[in-house]
Amino acid sequence: MKEPLMNRFISAAVLAAILTPVFALPASAWEESRFLGIDRNANDSISLQEAEDYRTRIFMEYDQNGDGRIEFEEYVKAEGLRPVTAAANSKVEVPDEYKEIDADDDMILMPEEMKMMADKRFKALDENGDGKISKDEFVSPGL
């Protein structure tokens, strides 16, 4: 009886060793595609204007009812934070990112709040202060 259990353990360990690099690839590919989605002129850097254009596109995408603000429920839907199997009114914990953007704590994201946070993040990512975000700066840890 111990032998089949040991075989399963070894099989699981081998499978994990094989799949770990496979699952690591999509994260870097996702970062690359996200960078390219913001870098509209494909010059390998993100200008402040490109960052602002991206923020505007994201805001419009998240503002599902078009009222010029992002209510928490719109954010939950856009981010896919509620599992498909959960009830429509089930509680979702407010992510730190949402709290950070929501400067007045009213659970509604306004364009001005998004701009303030975007400007702050742009400055943080622009490590060398040249007014652009390079690919290396874009993948800085913790941002």
Per-residue confidence (pLDDT) for residue 17, from 0 to 100: 43
Question: To the nearest whole percent, how much of the chain has pLDDT over 70?
Answer: 75
pLDDT band for position 15 (50/70/90)? very low
Which tokens hold the place of 132? 């652009």
Top pLDDT among 16 and 75 is at: 75
Domain at 109, CATH number: 1.10.238.10
The answer, yes or no, to whether residue 129 has pLDDT greater than 50, is yes
Residue 130 resides in a domain: yes
Residue 32 resides in a domain: no
Residue 118 resides in a domain: yes
pLDDT band for position 142 (50/70/90)? very low
Domain that holds residue 108: 39-138
Per-residue confidence (pLDDT) for residue 59, from 0 to 100: 95
Per-residue confidence (pLDDT) for residue 32, from 0 to 100: 73
The answer, yes or no, to whether residue 107 has pLDDT greater than 80, is yes
Residue 9 resides in a domain: no
Residue 57 resides in a domain: yes
Residue 55 resides in a domain: yes
Residue 14 resides in a domain: no
Please report, for residues 42, 122, 134, the alpha-carbon distance to residue 131 in angstroms, rounded to integers and kept in the order given.
16, 9, 10
Residue 2 resides in a domain: no
pTM here is 0.69
Q: How many domains does the chain have?
A: 1
Residue pLDDT, tens place only, 38-85: 888 989 999 999 999 999 999 999 999 999 999 999 999 999 998 877
The answer, yes or no, to whether residue 106 has pLDDT greater than 60, is yes
